[in-house]
Amino acid sequence: MSLAEQSVKLIDDSYENEERTELVRDYIEASAVGHPCDAMLAFSLRGYPEDKPSPRLKRIFRLGHILEDETVRDLKKGGDVIVWEKDGLTGKQYSYEELGGHIVCHMDGHIELTDGKVRVLEIKSMNDASWKKFVKEGVKISHPRYFSQCQMMMGMSGIHESFFIAVNKNTSEYHAEIIAFDTFEYSHIQDRINRILANQARRISEDESDWRCRDCFKRSVCWGKIDPPKACQTCAHSYPNANGGWHCGKHDKQAVNVCEQYEIYKPLPKE
């Protein structure tokens, strides 16, 4: 290994050795609701652990956050556009939740364009090929997962238009689209979430080599390589309730303490 290669390896090693400080999500988030696998969303709801991202992926996430901040800065430079990237009441990112926090959406902000109408702001960074596809086909076709995310944010917030803007990471070009609220799409999302809440989630595949499974952060728990922490919310007998807690179907009461009847929750097999 050359001296230059050793230097690059040291960078990657520094990422590998980082302690994980972020909390594992224990809710269904708008950014994930467009994922094709119900089981992944069910694992997220129950707070199952995630696989550790690679150093490369960590850097992609970091760059994405930097570009989001720069995009907000550029939008504000326009003069006649108003951006609220933080909730004035909390000083934090705009967020909305349902069922006591079992369902959550976080927004990049609210934006008022020159027509004076307030919309949901969603910012993405894309590589050249992905960005060109967005320009050509529109977000609903090019990035259906992002489209679902915007629909969920609009449905939960009651703000029924989104301003979706993407920056090309290769060329620094911008392209934007105003997305209208789609009642049918939002109903489909709600039906899917209700299925998951009722413990009816299914895997999208029965083969872990499936391309849809290869990059999933819940892959190890899904395929039994690691077990989730022993808790009521990871038990097959528990169901989320409306106040943000869990109900034990085995004993028909609030799930508080793990009992001897604990059984690891597993999704239903692929139909």
Report pLDDT digits (tens) over 84-115: 999 888 889 999 999 999 999 999 999 999 99
Distance between first and last Cα of the chain: 49
Question: Rounded to 5 degrees, what are φ and ψ at 11?
Answer: -65, -50
Q: What is the pLDDT of residue 20?
A: 66
pLDDT confidence bin for 79, thresholds 50/70/90: confident
Within 107-264, strands assigned E span 109-112, 118-126, 161-168, 174-180, 238-240, 246-248, 253-254
Q: What is the pLDDT of residue 22?
A: 62
Angle, vertex CA 36, rays to CA 244 and CA 188, nearest 5: 65
The pairing of strands 161-168 and 118-126 is: parallel
Helix (H, G, I), strand (E, B) or coil at 46: coil
Judge whether 211 lies within some domain.
yes
Judge whether 62 lies within some domain.
yes
CA 32/CA 26 separation, integer angstroms = 12
Cβ neighbours of 28 (radius 10 Å):
26
Judge whether 196 lies within some domain.
yes
Question: Is the separation of the CB atoms in 122 and 165 below 8 Å?
Answer: yes
Judge whether 251 lies within some domain.
no
The range of the structural domain enclosing residue 196 comes to 26-227
Judge whether 122 lies within some domain.
yes
Nearest 10 degrees: Cα torsion 267, 187, 151, 247: -40
pLDDT confidence bin for 1, thresholds 50/70/90: confident
pLDDT (average), residues 66-92: 91
Q: Please check the confidence at residue 239 and state whether its pLDDT lies above 90.
A: yes
Q: Please check the confidence at residue 150 and state whether its pLDDT lies above 80.
A: yes
- The CATH number of residue 92's host domain is 3.90.320.10
Nearest to 238 by CA among 259, 269, 268, 217: 259
Question: Is the separation of the CB atoms in 2 and 128 below 8 Å?
Answer: no
Instruction: Give me the number of domains the chain comprises.
Output: 1
The pLDDT tens digits of the residues spanning 17-47 come to 777 666 678 999 999 999 999 999 999 999 9
Nearest 10 degrees: Cα torsion 143, 146, 147, 149: 160
Judge whether 198 lies within some domain.
yes
CA 261/CA 210 separation, integer angstroms = 33
Q: Please check the confidence at residue 140 and state whether its pLDDT lies above 90.
A: yes
Sign of CA dihedral 121, 127, 130, 136: positive
Helix (H, G, I), strand (E, B) or coil at 256: coil
CA 206/CA 225 separation, integer angstroms = 15
Judge whether 10 lies within some domain.
no
Of 5-14, 72-81, 177-186, 211-220, the one with minimum mean pLDDT is: 5-14
Q: Indicate the average pLDDT of the chain.
A: 92
Judge whether 161 lies within some domain.
yes
Q: What is the pLDDT of residue 9?
A: 78
Within 90-189, strands assigned E span 95-98, 103-106, 109-112, 118-126, 161-168, 174-180
